[in-house]
Structure 1
Amino acid sequence: MSYFHFFVIPTQKVYNIVSLTDSAIIHEMISHFKTFWAQPGAAQKCIDRINLAVTEHVDQVLAHLDHEQKSMFNEVVKDVRKYADECSVPLRTLNAEDFVFGFHAMPDSSVGHLHMHVLPLSETFRRFSTDAHDVKTIPARAVIEVLDAETEGDTH
Structure 2
Amino acid sequence: MGVADVDFDEMYAKECERRKDSFKGKMPIIEKQFEDFWNHPDAQQDVDAYFEKLSDDQHKYAKRVKWVQPKTIFTDFAQKSLAGNQNVLIIDEIKELFRKEWSDPTFREAVLRHQREAIKRQHDAAVAKAGDDQELVKRAEKGYELATEHLEGLADKILQLKYEDFSFGLHLYSDHSICHFHMHIIAMPEEMRQYSTSQHDEKTKDVSEVREAIETFNRQSKSFDR
TM range (shorter): 0.7 to 0.9
Deviations 1:56-80 (A, max 9, x none): 2211211121223212321222111
- Of 117, 141, 144, 2:208 maps to 141
What is the CA distance between 1:11 and its match in structure 2? 5.0
Is 1:94 equivalent to 2:161 in the alignment? yes
- The within-5 A match list for 1:2-151 is 25-65=90-130, 66-150=133-217
What percentage of residue pairs aligned between the two structures are identical? 25
Give the superposed CA RMSD.
Answer: 2.7
* Structure 1 gaps, min length 5: 15-24
- Aligned partners of 1:101 and 1:118 also within 8 Å: yes
The structure whose residues are more often helix, as a share, is 1
Say how many residue pairs are matched. Answer: 139
- Give the alignment's TM-score, normalised by structure 2: 0.55
- Give the alignment's TM-score, normalised by structure 1: 0.77
Q: 1:73 to 1:128 in 2, by over 3 A?
A: same
Higher relative contact order at CA 8 Å, sep ≥6: structure 1 or structure 2? 1
Q: 1:79 to 1:13 in 2, by over 3 A?
A: closer
**Secondary structure of the corresponding residue to residue 41 of structure 1:** helix
Larger CA Rg, structure 1 vs 2:
2
* Structure 2 gaps, min length 5: 1-71, 76-83, 219-223
What is the CA distance between 1:150 and its match in structure 2? 4.1
